[in-house]
Structure 1
Amino acid sequence: MNISEAVPLLLTFAVICLSFIMSFELLWKSRNLPPGPTPLPLLGNLLQISNGDLVKSLLKLSEKYGEVFTFYFGSRPYIMVTGYKSVKEVLVDRGDDFLARGDVPAFDVYYKNFGVAFTNNIERWRELRRFTLSTLRDFGMGKKSMEEHIQEEAQCLVAELKKTKESFFDPKVCLCKPPCNIIFTIMFGNRHDYMDEELLIVMSWIHETFFIMSSIWGKIYDMFPGIMNFMPGRHQETFRYMKKLMLYVEKRVEMNKKTLDLNNPRDYVDAFLIKMEKEKMNPKTEFHLTNLVTSTLQIFFAGVETISTTITYSLLLLLKYPDILAKVHKEIDQVIGRDRTPKVQDRHQMPFTEAVIHEVQRFIELLPLGVPRKTTRDIMYRGYSIPKHTNVFTVLSSVLKDPTCFPYPNEFNPKNFLDKNGEFQKNDAFMPLASGKRICVGEALVRMELFLFLVNILQNFNLKSAVPPEELDITPEVSGFGNIRKPYKISFVPR
């Protein structure tokens, strides 16, 4: 046998050996984990994903293996937790056992375990979260001053929509500008004109990153990051956008440094820089430039995409269900009228509108898998031995559509949040942004923005679809890290 004949045999033998070793390793790792589909070497449970729909495939697997099961992303096992009771146990009842952030490879490439949202270092997370919550409150989150700022931005949005002169257009870009400006003001101390190039380009980077991460490219990368780093594809665009966003934040931090007044912080970046100065002699401080840049970008990213996607989806659903839109219009006219500026306190007198806003968030499942967690120690869970640093996904979609918690789990119906008298009623299973200690730091801001922006729009405009309601497709265009709606066109007709 010559060398040219021997090489293919040797390669085949090497692949077989490698597959055997990895199979053995996978079986060894899974021996004390919850049950789940048998993983293949290298591929993990890739073949269990039907038609590229990860969320539906996981929910189907939960019917077979139970509310808690193991699923392999490539060679990495993730514990999948479904259903309200099980998810609540992980996020709330035993929250400290699952407090670390899980692997998100597409983000981890740039965040590298730093920042308030994506670190699995518990002490780092505690310090940064405590500081962030305190600082956001100092700059108005949950207060009257922030409400007034959102009201002003809402009026700018109304003026912008009037300029469209009832033409049909995709509202994505237009509706992204107000929440982006709110975050700009909190983080960097200024807002932008709606035609400002800087505003538009930063918005596009954020949206494209979120879209690609939620697409099939993002799913494949999360399963095989080591291989996909060297493969062409749209996932590579994510890295380019993330790099641009990191450089942009670094530039804004440098701008703040040049005009910093240690006694008069103007925004989140200023407050962080002042904290850095106070702790510059502490070698173990978490207040350094890396955590400043990554935390700022993580808050900025979440604040823009969460609100803009929810509002654009809200309008699509209201176009799809004009009877619900009519009831919201009626309630706005009765409680606020068409001249007075809407206030946050109005929602206490607007049970139907409040129910609709909650139902939108429940129905669209913005983050269907949630953001992964990791166990902080070796634990026993549901009779299984879960090692420290095991990845855990709390499948929020399974909670938001749990039939034991919502009477109409699979349809868009505000009655999911109304009692028999038509009054708004809270539901503990409502956790669109997770729950427990690691819930989104801007949750209060999200609630305020959604109400004020949406009510201002509906107070001033009738909504008109470019196609009949029955032709509108309300299923997501992509569903993975996030659910992103399909493109649609809308006309805003002054009332």
Structure 2
Amino acid sequence: MALLLLLGLLGLLGLLGLWGLLCTAAPGPSPASQWPPGPRPLPLLGNLPLLRASQQDQWLLELSERYGPMFTVHLGGQKTVVLSGYEAVRDALVGTGQELADRPPIPIFQLIQQGRGIFFSSGARWRSARRFTVRVLHSLGVGQGPVAGKVLQELASLTGKLDGFRGQPFPLALLGWAPSNITFTLLFGQRFDYQDPVFQSLLGLIDEVMVLLGSPSLQLFNIYPWLGTFLGLHRPVMRKIEKVRAILKTILEQRRCTTPRGGPVQSYVDALIQQSQIQGDDHQGLFTEANVVACMLDMLMAGTETTSATLQWAALLMARHPDIQGRVQEELDRVLGARRLPQPEDQQQLPYTNAVLHEVQRYITLLPHVPRCTATDTRLGGYLLPKGTPVIPLLTSVLLDKTQWVTPSQFNPGHFLDSDGHFLKRLAFLPFSAGRRVCVGESLARTELFLLLAGLLQRYHLQPPPGVSPAALDTMPALAFTMRPRAQALCAIPRH
């Protein structure tokens, strides 16, 4: 019934848009207009009739072929500027400083976080939260030896779980448990047993939230929040978010009872608690109860989903390309042998393994278009964009740029190797974005992914279940907030 109502309302909107188009003379460009070109919008609907909800990045790439590296699309009544290609995206993200460091007020995230937290906040509150988070992660050993030890501890737990399957098919999503637990350890100061009900509840809720955030109903909510509110399209995801918040508040209270004032900081939550004790309700609101929970929520959702999905993609692509997996294992055997665990410094001696991991991240484009927003009137690419203009730096267009990659649409580790087989850094490798909003967990993600993937391939052959060919493995992304792989199974066959 709800679906029929939704389709009926969308049909009504389409008729209104068509009526407006027929009754309105084609407007000429304003003499003062400095917007980039783009497809002509329909009244009320904008360019939505052209939009493919499940392939937005592909739709935007096709528009860039027609309108160039900088163009305007109308999402409903909202003008949005899209940047496409390495040159345009790099110049905007790296060259504009604070001018393009804000986030637009995306309705569903405004409803969830109300401008708090790290990832969808803006201005002074965002700068304070980011500085604090970077400082705390560094103090916890991110990018250094202490975190590598935690990753290898989690690798042992993961391989123990995989050994229990004795070479039989296991769900691909199981691989996400290890990076998720590493995030939990840094956030909460403790790792969880994989069967712990809190661990399982958080993973289940995060999965459900990510699927809901990528659904067409929430895309509609973000474009027409008044309609989405009337239809209650936000309610399912808000119910899940409240369950996550309840768990986070329980953990926060538990840590408050065990974290001595001025004692050693063992987690991100400890640092938030101690800083709130020192500063109280600071004038920027960073350490109020609501913002502390908002920062925890942001770190939890982003820190688990992105690395978890990337590791799953890496395993899936290794099973789909057994020849590439074999070359990685030859290199691991030569450098590490069968028993010595990988260490972060081994990356220099493992150029092919390093190239494969980089190619995984290039090929999948996990977060293809997280929008920015102009913090002031900003001149960009010869156009003057007014303050508050949403800007989409289309990372898909960078990671698939034909001028930067020899075979952009193919999985090819050679993109990151020179003619002598040495690892080759590429400026157009921007899966973590760039500039002031570059991913705060980039260093952690790099360490986790290298140690976990190298450790898994050192120990196992990853292959499809019996009766399934490598080419039959499904590499179409699932419909979610990130470009995560679809649910399926692999086998981990012990090598030694």
Structure-1 separation of matches of 2:25 and 2:303: 42
Q: Which residue pairs with 1:427 in the alignment?
A: 426
Scaled by the length of structure 2, the TM-score of the pair is 0.91
- Long gaps (5+) in structure 2: 1-15
CA spacing shift, 1:26–1:281, aligned 2, 3 Å? farther
| Correspondence 1:395 to 2:394 | yes
Q: Aligned AA for 1:356?
A: V
Q: Is the 8 A contact 2:285 2:291 kept in 1?
A: no
Q: Which residue pairs with 2:349 in the alignment?
A: 349
| Correspondence 1:133 to 2:130 | no
Structure-2 separation of matches of 1:324 and 1:26: 55
Q: Which residue pairs with 2:463 in the alignment?
A: 464
**C-alpha RMSD over aligned residues:** 2.4
Match of 2:106 among 92, 104, 111: 104
SS of 2:204's partner is helix
Q: Which residue pairs with 1:3 in the alignment?
A: none
Match of 2:73 among 66, 71, 83: 71
Structure-2 separation of matches of 1:292 and 1:86: 36
Q: Is the 8 A contact 2:18 2:42 kept in 1?
A: no
- Long gaps (5+) in structure 1: 1-13
Structure-2 separation of matches of 1:149 and 1:227: 46
Residue pairs, 1:207-222, within 5 angstroms = 207-222=207-222
Structure-1 separation of matches of 2:28 and 2:275: 45
Q: Is the 8 A contact 2:71 2:83 kept in 1?
A: yes
CA spacing shift, 1:23–1:418, aligned 2, 3 Å? farther
Structure-2 separation of matches of 1:417 and 1:15: 48
Q: Aligned AA for 1:261?
A: P
Residue pairs, 1:44-193, within 5 angstroms = 44-50=46-52, 52-120=54-122, 122-172=123-173, 174-193=174-193
Q: Is the 8 A contact 2:17 2:44 kept in 1?
A: no
Q: Aligned AA for 1:125?
A: W
CA spacing shift, 1:149–1:251, aligned 2, 3 Å? same
Q: Is the 8 A contact 1:179 1:449 kept in 2?
A: yes
TM-aligned CA deviation for residue 59 of structure 1: 0.6
Structure-2 separation of matches of 1:153 and 1:218: 35
CA spacing shift, 1:245–1:27, aligned 2, 3 Å? farther
**Overall identity of the aligned pairs, in %:** 34
CA spacing shift, 1:284–1:463, aligned 2, 3 Å? closer
Q: Which residue pairs with 1:5 in the alignment?
A: none
TM-aligned CA deviation for residue 27 of structure 1: 8.1
CA spacing shift, 1:254–1:31, aligned 2, 3 Å? same
Q: Could you tell which deviates more after superposition, 217-226 or 263-272?
A: 217-226
Q: Aligned AA for 1:82?
A: S
Q: Is the 8 A contact 1:176 1:203 kept in 2?
A: no
TM-aligned CA deviation for residue 363 of structure 1: 0.2
TM-aligned CA deviation for residue 21 of structure 1: 12
Structure-1 separation of matches of 2:440 and 2:478: 28
Q: Which residue pairs with 1:6 in the alignment?
A: none
Structure-2 separation of matches of 1:284 and 1:216: 35
Structure-2 separation of matches of 1:240 and 1:61: 36
TM-aligned CA deviation for residue 258 of structure 1: 2.1
Q: Which residue pairs with 2:269 in the alignment?
A: 269
Residue pairs, 1:242-257, within 5 angstroms = 242-257=241-256
Q: Aligned AA for 1:204?
A: G
TM-aligned CA deviation for residue 34 of structure 1: 1.1
| Correspondence 1:228 to 2:228 | yes
Q: Aligned AA for 2:472?
A: E
Structure-1 separation of matches of 2:246 and 2:375: 32
TM-aligned CA deviation for residue 30 of structure 1: 10
SS of 1:324's partner is helix
CA spacing shift, 1:175–1:23, aligned 2, 3 Å? farther
Q: Could you tell which deviates more after superposition, 397-406 or 484-493?
A: 484-493
The size of the alignment, in residue pairs, is 477
